[in-house]
Amino acid sequence: MSDGLTRVNEAVTVVRGEEELFRRIGHLLATVTDLACAANDLATWAADHRSDELAAATVGRAAGVRIRKMYRSALLLDSVSAHELARRRDQFGAEIRITHEEINETIVIDRRLVILAGDVRAGQRSYSVITQPETVQGVMSLFETAWRSATDLAVYDAQVADIRRLAPAVLDLLSQGVKDEAAARRLGLGVRTYRRRVAELMDALGAGSRFQAGVRARELGLV
């Protein structure tokens, strides 16, 4: 260190396939107290699924176990997936948040070990397992940033997903600042109907004014 430099050997291990990954780090899941996880779909961390039994065991363990999972909003368009998410939340006490951005599959275990999913080659996905403290801290920080900008599942619930499916055009026009008259004309609707849509939207957003609705809509990534 006298040259201001430290070489770190074997700080990164690349693992091929979930089977192997699970063999390597599966035992850690039994004692984890802080699990941060990001995924684009429910299938990615199959190892995580298999560890449901382990996770279930955590329910009986002392409180203070924190499980955070972050998924893409697209996942909620599938009602089966949405239901599964809610199940995990209720059963394991996991905090689940929804983000609108694509996000690299990532797991951070107890702020000490990072797993980053890589490309799929020869049918097997590769995983980088990182233990080097500074690197883990850095990745954790980036995860925290994404986490803070994501929305809690309880807020971003099926109702909101519905809104997005039903009224994207209304949201667009509102966010463009278009007046009701013009917006209705552009949608081929009566002004009354358009305003009904807006009222439904505001109701669903729990907003008492259009300004507030705008804030919430943006919060939820609807616009």
Partner DNA sequence: CCGAGAATGGCAACATCCTGCCGAGCTGGC
Partner DNA sequence: GCCAGCTCGGCAGGATGTTGCCATTCTCGG
Is residue 168 near DNA by the rule CB under 7 A? no
Is residue 188 near DNA by the rule CB under 7 A? yes
Q: Which does 199 bind (CB under 5 to 8 A by kind): a second copy, DNA, none?
A: DNA
User: What token pair was written down for 196?
Assistant: 């009904």
Q: How many C-beta neighbours within 10 Å does residue 36 have?
A: 23
Q: How far is CA 149 from the centre of its chain?
A: 10
Query: In sequence order, which residues have a C-beta less than 8 Å from that of residue 57 and are 6 or more positions away?
Result: 30
Is residue 61 near DNA by the rule CB under 7 A? no
**93/221 with CB nearer a second copy:** 221
Is residue 202 near DNA by the rule CB under 7 A? yes
Least Cβ distance, residue 85 to DNA (angstroms): 27
User: What token pair was written down for 189?
Assistant: 């609707």
Q: Which does 190 bind (CB under 5 to 8 A by kind): DNA, a second copy, none?
A: DNA
Distance CA 120, CA 214 (A): 40
Distance CA 107, CA 68 (A): 10
Distance CA 120, CA 128 (A): 13
Q: Which region, judged by CB under 8 A, interacts with a second copy, from 11-19, 56-64, 158-166, 185-193?
A: 11-19
Element (H, E) at 127: strand 124-130
Q: Which region, judged by CB under 7 A, interacts with DNA, from 28-36, 127-135, 160-168, 192-200?
A: 192-200
Query: In sequence order, which residues have a C-beta less than 8 Å from that of residue 79 and are 6 or more positions away?
Result: 158
Is residue 64 near a second copy by the rule CB under 8 A? no
Least Cβ distance, residue 118 to DNA (angstroms): 47
Is residue 78 near DNA by the rule CB under 7 A? no
Query: In sequence order, which residues have a C-beta less than 8 Å from that of residue 58 and are 6 or more positions away?
Result: 32, 65, 67, 92
- Residue 194: phi and psi, rounded to 5, are -60, -45
- Residue 188: phi and psi, rounded to 5, are 70, 30
Among 146, 169, 187, 204, binds a second copy (CB under 8 A): 146
Is residue 132 near a second copy by the rule CB under 8 A? yes
Is residue 179 near DNA by the rule CB under 7 A? yes
Per CB under 7 A, residues contacting DNA are: 179-181, 188-193, 195-196, 198-199, 202, 209-210
Per CB under 8 A, residues contacting a second copy are: 1, 3-17, 19-20, 24, 99, 101-104, 106, 116-119, 124, 126-128, 130, 132-135, 137-139, 141-146, 148-149, 174-179, 207-219, 223
